Structure 1
């Protein structure tokens, strides 16, 4: 007998989950309130480019999509830090050739995932349909066609909430239950800008890297694109001085960029136009429980663990959700309740840790990445990793270039840091003892 699944949300997680469920034998229908991401101009001005790393690559490989995605991406071998004086410094991501990230445009990736689910697996997508109500016990959903206002009841065996940080599925899954929901908003927002390719079609800056303009008052990052351009994300406080609120004239925008990112203004010929054309984005973190109801409703991606983008793991962790959910459904094919419980058990403790890491990395990128001490610590981590790859792995390497669960990676990094501190203390003590002994041996001393 055919099982039926309904997915709310045709974003990255929802589209990938649709393909996985279809391969498990489900008849899948996906409802999305926005338009088709394959349409021209979809998502313009609202996206932060994505850095694909090991977790996301593993999930895409298991779905048979990795090669297609990599063909639309640009490898990033490290980050280029732009200093206020106009100089730059390159910081590699790892010590091995495979320890790189891949930059991909959100809209390109989303379109590819929708195409794959639709054409390879027969998934049905309904764009321009908003979720109105869920019967979590049936389960069933009511959706409304935005164009006509017509409401439709859709029954299913499984409802998947992949509808983002403000998930309607999560709200109705948890309604009236003992549920936790903790949501934080960063007091910084963002604007999407562009560094286009030069008039000769060549990149204006090094293309095989993430570019970072750090700063306590404002920060900017830029991801490379296959056409030689870079998509920039300018982060700044919503209010205060300076802030996004004060950038209300072309002169203010140009002066702001000139002051905080002095080498960037010349790279962005449409700076002012894009700044005023594109909306201000907001950043939120979501931690919640439970993620499921019986064996009938489950959450994936931002709906259950939205994180700030500063560790580059939001998409990767969402894709990892889809893979783990698929594994659990495969492990318990006749017990959906147990499968969903196992999925939450395996994922939730680690995504909670990822939220903390993402907050911490915001401070790293904003305040520390340009400092010599940061570069020295990173270099020491890489050196120790080269000398003893099995015994010493930097936290960033474990998070970005392996699939070690996030909480396990953090615990190991803390043990390594304790060892490093103890070693430094012992070395300092040894040097002090040696100096004292040398003084005692000097002629004339008794």
Structure 2
């Protein structure tokens, strides 16, 4: 097992969000970092539209940026989203706040802007070199030898490096090499739904044509449309549909069918999307996958982080937040250990159970967003939950608030959420108005179930670091 030498040159594969931020954390610890990115430099070449589900950055991601001094600038380009704006077919809007008050919100941020911002700041450390159009074709994970294709010249070279960090996304070339080894496993679960990016342009003078401070959802049972605000007054819309079936990407095979579908299901959105037909047929249909792998490291030579280790579907807005938190936790592990293998082992042990938990919550949240947000019973329970959050601060905690507005480990957030949901369901039984909830019974249930659990796991309610 080799020692961690602060001056050695390490390699990061993938200059996406996590790879760019990780390279800054490594540079801060004194390492020289070579980043290999298979795409062109997005700051100089257009990579093409159509594949960006906007980012919803929240507490975990902002904390990670704060550690490298970038939080304030990122927030200057972000738009607070204080809740969900539900668009039923009838057109009568309903707003569902995310937190107990307006101080608790998530933030819409352009993926392309943030990625370019992180790359520029990584290079600005003077310790990070990013090579673009560099495709990793093979990696000997035990010797740290990479076979890299330089796409502009068509030549292949060998790169030897003491440590390889794989941050190259859900289709990771590094993970593909790691999972060949005995004892390494990967499962991939593809969602039966795909997604298509559409755009609501800004109004005159950059005006927002819908509520600016909300994540807009058109829930329709087995499918949905969402929209997130952008700095320039536009909204990035994402249509989620099954790949096949009566209402699906397969069935909407002509411009007239697409327009008729929107007229019937999203009548208030249709006039806001002037390029609907063009974008529907020219933008790619994205796929979504949950990746669970183990272990994420090969001794002290290779480590997977972010989507390469644990890709999740986008419905809790936590993919990037989780990947950024990986950087925070790994940095702390590197500070505690003198050997790479020990740091990697602790990192995997601490993050694996939490990555699995947020992956499961993300799939559950998909069902909630598309099926339940328009359901009267669900809306009542959300109102009861909000009443309990305000009546019992510090004692009643919701899963959503722990995931989005704290850095409590995801696994504990998952378990607390199950207890909290059970309490809300019991208290909502037979009610038609949240104002009629029995607060005395609520206090009893919270003190019988939630408070003892939080007390028992009080160590875990320390911050993820």
- Tell me the TM-score range normalised by the shorter chain: over 0.9
What CA distance in whole angstroms lies between the structure 2 residues aligned with 1:419 and 1:358? 22
Q: Which residue of 2 aligns with 1:207?
A: 212
Please give the secondary structure, in 1, of the residue aligned with 2:315.
helix
The answer to whether the 8 A contact 1:135-1:141 is kept is yes
What RMSD, in angstroms, separates the aligned Cα atoms of the two structures?
1.9
The answer to whether the 8 A contact 2:19-2:167 is kept is yes
Please give the secondary structure, in 2, of the residue aligned with 1:41.
coil
Instruction: Give the deviation of 1:42 after TM superposition.
Output: 2.5
When normalised by structure 2's length, the TM-score is 0.89
Please give the secondary structure, in 2, of the residue aligned with 1:60.
helix
Q: Which residue of 1 aligns with 2:346?
A: 342
1:49-82 CA-to-partner distances (Å, cap 9, x unmatched) read 1100111111111121111111111111111000
* Greater gyration radius: 1
Instruction: Give the deviation of 1:158 after TM superposition.
Output: 1.4
Please give the secondary structure, in 2, of the residue aligned with 1:309.
coil
What CA distance in whole angstroms lies between the structure 1 residues aligned with 2:257 and 2:429? 50
What CA distance in whole angstroms lies between the structure 1 residues aligned with 2:263 and 2:138? 49
1:399 aligns with 2:410: no
The verdict on how the C-alpha distance between 1:158 and 1:416 changes in structure 2, with shifts beyond 3 A counting, is: same
1:141-171 CA-to-partner distances (Å, cap 9, x unmatched) read 1211111121122222210000111111111
Q: Which residue of 1 aligns with 2:200?
A: 195
Alignment of 1:262-273 (within 5 A): 262-273=267-278
What CA distance in whole angstroms lies between the structure 1 residues aligned with 2:117 and 2:347? 26
1:66 aligns with 2:71: yes
The verdict on how the C-alpha distance between 1:96 and 1:140 changes in structure 2, with shifts beyond 3 A counting, is: farther
The verdict on how the C-alpha distance between 1:220 and 1:422 changes in structure 2, with shifts beyond 3 A counting, is: closer
Q: Which residue of 1 aligns with 2:371?
A: 367
The answer to whether the 8 A contact 2:381-2:425 is kept is no
* Count of aligned residue pairs for this structure pair: 429
What CA distance in whole angstroms lies between the structure 1 residues aligned with 2:304 and 2:331? 13
1:293-336 CA-to-partner distances (Å, cap 9, x unmatched) read 1111100111111011011100100110111111111111x211
The answer to whether the 8 A contact 1:164-1:306 is kept is yes
What CA distance in whole angstroms lies between the structure 2 residues aligned with 1:336 and 1:155? 17
What CA distance in whole angstroms lies between the structure 2 residues aligned with 1:292 and 1:111? 28
The answer to whether the 8 A contact 1:29-1:126 is kept is yes
Instruction: Give the deviation of 1:140 after TM superposition.
Output: 2.5
Q: Which residue of 2 aligns with 1:351?
A: 355
Alignment of 1:19-58 (within 5 A): 19-58=24-63
The verdict on how the C-alpha distance between 1:149 and 1:338 changes in structure 2, with shifts beyond 3 A counting, is: same
Please give the secondary structure, in 2, of the residue aligned with 1:6.
strand
The answer to whether the 8 A contact 1:23-1:121 is kept is no
What CA distance in whole angstroms lies between the structure 2 residues aligned with 1:364 and 1:377? 13
The verdict on how the C-alpha distance between 1:11 and 1:252 changes in structure 2, with shifts beyond 3 A counting, is: same
Q: Which residue of 2 aligns with 1:4?
A: 9
Structure 1 stretch 161-170 or stretch 370-379: which is displaced more? 370-379
When normalised by structure 1's length, the TM-score is 0.93
The verdict on how the C-alpha distance between 1:95 and 1:335 changes in structure 2, with shifts beyond 3 A counting, is: same
Name stretches of at least 5 consecutive residues in structure 1 with no aligned partner. 432-446
**What stretches of structure 1 move > 3 A for 4+ residues in a row?**
417-428
Structure 1 stretch 120-129 or stretch 395-404: which is displaced more? 120-129
The answer to whether the 8 A contact 1:180-1:290 is kept is yes
What CA distance in whole angstroms lies between the structure 2 residues aligned with 1:179 and 1:210? 39
The answer to whether the 8 A contact 1:253-1:272 is kept is yes
The answer to whether the 8 A contact 2:147-2:159 is kept is yes
